[in-house]
Chain A
Amino acid sequence: MSGEKIIIQVDADLEDLIPGFLENRNTDIETLRTELENSQYENLRSIGHSIKGVGGGYGFDLMSQIGAEIESAAKENNGDLIREKIEQLDDYLKRVDIEYI
């Protein structure tokens, strides 16, 4: 995982919403980690499902993809893959740089 910035272009109408949206995803990451510690796969699936549903609409397509992968891995109780995807999401959020258009 490199430290390069990932530029995401977002509709300027959503500018006020983005900080809160990203903050909620950071909260999701914390929750995902806790649920993984406790092997709560149904909760992990549900959070993955939500991330999948909401990411693309704001312009974060990769976020939706990671959400879908968490959802799918949770259905198979695949903790290792979920851990990997949580870290990928965390890394993505740290590198993302928004450009309002």
Chain B
Amino acid sequence: MTNKNTESLIKVLIVDDDEDVLNLLESWLTKEKYDVKRANSGQQAINEVNIYVPDLVVTDLFMDEMDGMELMTQLHNDNPLLPVIMLSGQAQIPDAIKAMHLGTSAFLTKPIDQQEFIDTVKRIVRACHDNSVLKEFSKNIVYKSKQMADIVKMASLVADNDVSVFITGATGSGKEVIAKAIHDASSRRDQRFIAVNCGAIPDQLLESELFGHEKGAFTGANVKHEGLFQAANAGTIFLDEVGDMPLALQVKLLRVLQDFEVRPVGSTKTYPIDVRLISATHKNLEEAVEKGEFREDLYYRLKVVPLNIPNLIDRPDDVPALADHFLAEFARNNKQEQKRFSPDAMKYLVSMPWPGNVRQLINVIDLCATICRNKSIPLNLVKKAVHDEPMNMQTLKEAKREFEKNYLLSVLRITHGHVANAAKVAGRNRTEFYKLLNQYNIEPAAFRDKKKPLAKEST
């Protein structure tokens, strides 16, 4: 009974230029106690949305003047979370994939089956109103603040469709945690989640890393390499620091998002891909667009659903919950009894500005938990840990080492662990290259395809 009452309040706007389809959908929905409003064009639907404020829109794809895709894009400009069911007389897979990526919640082909239609409506309505969905989504996200609660709610609502999510927030604020939670709550959860830090991979290697390359595409490319987009096929790819992507590559990424296919470097062939994209940056991309450093068309393609994670200083309510969570995690990992912060120590933690955000807080907590011999962590120890913790800033030497290590890892991935080829790409001789690998304890064999024995390296 509760279910019926809840559903009776649900408002559905149906849009089609065929009166007979509208009659049919209205009849089915009314029978299920939904409140229904009709629109016989995209423009009429846009006008109705502001007055009627529907919970769900059902629209035909092919309509004169404004089609279903254009209607959905316009609706999502003002309300990115409004669920949309798209109906089409053509079972064209590219249309369905495009619609899913633009944010449709479901794509059904005509003639519509009554049971399938009603089941789809119920599933989408449930996802929007069921708190258990939110609870499941947020099980790995620690927060108490209203700001984070709003973000988590929005992320949970968009998790189960393929809409592009764009996460902004300072370094260490937890962008990848949110991205992973979205993937885990999506229908792609059993497929791969691949995170790529675009800022950590040298420009000349990034294209090959993302889209792959053919054998002989460039010096040292002696083996065909599958890019990360293809590796993430059917799953999710998380492009972190997408604002650092060079302009030339931005064009290529835009094409991938428009056509859902990738063309590896040096290839004349394209490969279809079905990947959900989540991107993130700490940069102000609007400014970058104004300066001509980031393509405007790509920017709007990425930020269909924008999520901005606030700095820790703006959500102090989260600090005690995070501190407790990470102390418990430390205790579990080190098989120790869990320690607690003394009340004044906790007050001090809450009052700190945390320029390095959650990542800096974790460093301080780990430091305190490591050196404290008592069950209660005192204020003076916390003060010392905060002072000693280098604000999450690397020294120049550390930053150079991290870059060098990431570079070596990328080169080895692309050359599949073939040291001679990797050395060629890096512009070093083999002996020098081996020395570098040893410095970072990198084992080239780990990058080799285990099924295929590596061709003998030339001397």
Chain A residues within 8 Å of B, Cβ to Cβ: 11, 13-14, 17, 20-21, 24, 49-50, 52-58, 61, 64
Contacts and interface: CB of A to CB of B under 8 A. Distances in A.
Contacts of A50: 18, 89
A57 B89 contact: no
Interface size class of B (residues with CB under 8 A): 10 to 19
B31 interface: yes
A54 B16 CA distance: 11
A56 B20 CA distance: 12
Nearest to A49: B89
Contacts, number: 49
A7 B258 CA distance: 47
Interface in B4-30: 18-21, 23-24, 27
Interface of B: 18-21, 23-24, 27, 31, 62, 89, 110-114
B31 A13 contact: yes
A50 B62 CA distance: 10
Contacts of A52: 89, 110-111
A53 B90 CA distance: 9
Contacts of A54: 18, 20-21, 24, 110-111
B67 to A, nearest CB: 14
Contacts of B89: 49-50, 52-53
Contact of B19 (A24, A49, A53, A64): A24
A20 B23 contact: yes
A17 B19 CA distance: 11
A53 B23 contact: no
B18 A57 contact: no
Contact of B20 (A13, A24, A64): A24
B110 A14 contact: no
A17 B21 contact: no
B31 A57 contact: no
A79 B23 CA distance: 32
Contacts of B27: 13-14, 17
A20 B18 CA distance: 13
Contacts of B62: 49
Given A11-B114, A17-B24, A58-B20, 16 more contacts: A13-B27, A17-B23, A17-B27, A21-B20, A21-B23, A24-B19, A24-B20, A49-B62, A53-B111, A54-B20, A54-B21, A56-B111, A56-B112, A57-B110, A58-B24, A61-B111
Contacts of A24: 19-20
21 contacts: A11-B114, A13-B27, A14-B24, A17-B24, A21-B20, A21-B23, A50-B18, A52-B110, A52-B111, A53-B110, A53-B111, A54-B21, A54-B24, A54-B110, A55-B111, A56-B111, A56-B112, A57-B111, A58-B20, A58-B24, A61-B111
B138 to A, nearest CB: 39
B416 to A, nearest CB: 47
Nearest to A71: B89
Given A13-B31, A52-B89, A52-B110, A57 B19 contact: no
Residue from B19, B24, B89, B111 whose CB has the most chain A CB atoms within 10 Å? B111
Nearest to A60: B111
Contacts of B31: 13
B413 to A, nearest CB: 47
Nearest to A17: B23
Nearest to A63: B111
Contacts of B18: 50, 53-54
A15 B7 CA distance: 25
A55 to B, nearest CB: 6
A13 to B, nearest CB: 6
A53 to B, nearest CB: 4
Contacts of B113: 56-57
A73 B18 CA distance: 22
